[in-house]
Structure 1
Amino acid sequence: MSLVTRLTYALPHRFLSSLARSLAYSKHPRVSRWLIDTVTRKFGVDLTEAANADPRSYESFNTFFTRALRPGARTPDPDPDAILMPADGRISQCGPIRGGEIFQAKGRSFTAAELLASEADARPFDDGVFATVYLSPRDYHRVHMPWTGTLTRTVHVPGRLFSVGPNAVRLVPRLFARNERLVCHFDTDFGPMAVVMVGALLVSGVETVWSGIEIPQYGHKVTEKRFEPGITLERFAEMARFNYGSTVIVLLPRGVATLDASLQAESPVQLGQRLATRAAPVTG
């Protein structure tokens, strides 16, 4: 294991992320401009796709980082049977959920039960499929619905805040099942769908369209919220956003969809492209 990865075990994750949050929300012009200029230059951020392309007009780094796209910059796959990619980024991994396990990297995996913090919640996804999408600092940081669904519950799972970059994914065991995360449970016309927002080192927070800021406050125990009646969100609608880079994981049940054959590890992806194809409903 590299020295940098070893150091991440000892770092005060939440303190560093809280400090990053303070900087990200600062409205001091010198702070915000320095952060925006640094990230834009280092990561090659394309502002031509932003609804507001002027980096000097954002009042804080956070408003810049969670910027909206201009209308038409992303469109959903026109096939009504296409389950959509929830975000811009790169595929970390995708594939079948075998024996309840989700592949992380060579020699590493974690279970759906660990990810969702519940054996019962994981059971419907046995032999289903998953897709893990990594959002780098250059990407659009809003997450949208892969398919129309009704939100029934969220589960805030406490944990560490390891980096979720490629090196950490290769080296840190059970990374996504260890980091702090928000599990969003949806009912759809094909059954349950889980969308998991995974926090990361220097991530200032996770926000949802239905409740606002979810992380922080950083949790110390698993916290569940139920929504009765549920909240219905349409396919391609915005559901949540990250501050700084992180990862979103989509879980689908067995037999309801086939992952797009073009997807593989490290494939660049865009919001709205085909993630999977909905199987024909069983009749009779």
Structure 2
Amino acid sequence: MIKIYNRSTKDYEIEKVAGEKYLQWNYSSPIGTSLLELFVKRKLFSKIYGSYCDTKLSSKKISSFINDLDLDMSISERSQGDFKSFNDFFVRKLKPNARPINTDSNVLVSPADGRLSVFTNIDLDNIIQVKGFTYSLKELIGDEKTANEYKNGTCMIVRLCPTDYHRLHFIDNGTCSDSREIDGSYYSVNPIALEKIPKLFCQNKREWSIFYSENFGDVILIEVGATCVGTIIQTYKPNIPVKKGDEKGYFKFGGSTTILFFKENTIKVDSDILEQSKLGFETKILMGERIGVKTNLVAN
């Protein structure tokens, strides 16, 4: 059971997890963990399943997925019958008014729908994955020089589960560097897996870039793949100016994670998010909503 904080209701709710019983078995039982290490975490498994999700046959899964997880299709640009495959449905775009973006240049917005955890004044060698498990930024991006620039900064982890809108957007006006790829495994990024696999983010396939933000400094943007996420698609053009809310890319099927690193004294995260993170709870957020402000302002 995964409990998350809902900012709208100011209360906790239980997350609907796709394949929860399978995840528990896969990451907790002797047979399940053996299968995980032998096959499930490997690229071949995710590639095979990802290929199936690109076929017309996979479209039969859409209806039950929507019903079982109670998805709101009224905000989708296309109706259920218009999708050619499950992946076509999974990376669906939303109607323009579905995710209003806070356009105040002083306001930091979420890059995606998901569940947010925040860590401030970070120790670059001991960034928290979950209680008891840490990793280093150098291991995560493979670039010690860049990593050292973020000492005492802020780390934001946005976990996307399969029920979420799976497109990523820019948090500000600016330009973004080329995306650098790092090969790795395909563990789930669900909390069930995070509590079992040390340095999981550093083991999974990932891509990272530097976003030269107009208002929040140079931000490291990292996309972490996961089980069945065989592909991370970048739709932006490197080094070309973008506007706040423009699309950066998307994940194909599966739960995924995007991680952002901000330099010291550049942002102030909203107090409710910080409080829940300190208590060990993720906060449910939507793309475009306020999650913080520039450090020269006082958050409400």
**TM-score between both structures, scaled by the size of structure 1:** 0.86
For the residues of structure 2 that align with 1:195 and 1:131, how far apart are their CA atoms?
A: 10
Match for 1:162 among 151, 162, 187?
Answer: 187
Corresponding position: 1:65 with 2:90: yes
Aligned pairs (5 A) from 1:1-284:
2-3=28-29, 4-5=32-33, 7-12=35-40, 13-27=42-56, 31-52=57-78, 54-91=79-116, 93-100=117-124, 101-189=126-214, 190-210=216-236, 230-244=239-253, 245-263=255-273, 264=276, 265-280=281-296
1:215-268 per-residue CA deviation (whole Å, 9 max, x = no partner) reads xxxxxxxxxxxx5xx222211111010012211111111000011112133211
Contact 1:43 1:137 in 2 (8 A): no
SS in 1 for 2:195: helix
For the residues of structure 2 that align with 1:141 and 1:58, how far apart are their CA atoms?
A: 16
1:1-36 per-residue CA deviation (whole Å, 9 max, x = no partner) reads 712445422225211111111111112xxx233221
Letter in 2 for 1:202: C
Report what 2:24 is aligned to.
none
Letter in 2 for 1:49: I
For the residues of structure 1 that align with 2:191 and 2:89, how far apart are their CA atoms?
A: 24
Q: 1:71 Cα deviation (Å)?
A: 1.5
The alignment yields a C-alpha RMSD, in angstroms, of 1.8
Q: 1:159 Cα deviation (Å)?
A: 0.8
Q: 1:82 Cα deviation (Å)?
A: 1.0
244-253 vs 145-154, which moves further: 145-154
SS in 1 for 2:291: strand
> Aligned residue pairs: how many?
259
Q: Which runs of 4+ in 1 moved over 6 A?
A: none
For the residues of structure 1 that align with 2:191 and 2:170, how far apart are their CA atoms?
A: 25
**TM-score between both structures, scaled by the size of structure 2:** 0.81
For the residues of structure 1 that align with 2:142 and 2:121, how far apart are their CA atoms?
A: 16
Letter in 2 for 1:157: I
Letter in 1 for 2:250: R
Report what 2:15 is aligned to.
none
1:25-60 per-residue CA deviation (whole Å, 9 max, x = no partner) reads 112xxx2332212322332222111111x2111111
Structure 1 or 2: larger strand share? 1
For the residues of structure 2 that align with 1:239 and 1:90, how far apart are their CA atoms?
A: 19
For structure 1, which runs of at least 5 residues remain unmatched after alignment?
Answer: 212-226
Letter in 1 for 2:241: T
Distance 1:122 1:206, change over 3 A: same
For the residues of structure 1 that align with 2:36 and 2:270, how far apart are their CA atoms?
A: 35
Q: 1:121 Cα deviation (Å)?
A: 1.5
For the residues of structure 1 that align with 2:296 and 2:174, how far apart are their CA atoms?
A: 18
Contact 2:221 2:261 in 1 (8 A): yes
SS in 2 for 1:48: helix
1:77-127 per-residue CA deviation (whole Å, 9 max, x = no partner) reads 243211110110112x21115220321111111111111111111112111
Q: 1:278 Cα deviation (Å)?
A: 1.1
SS in 2 for 1:233: coil
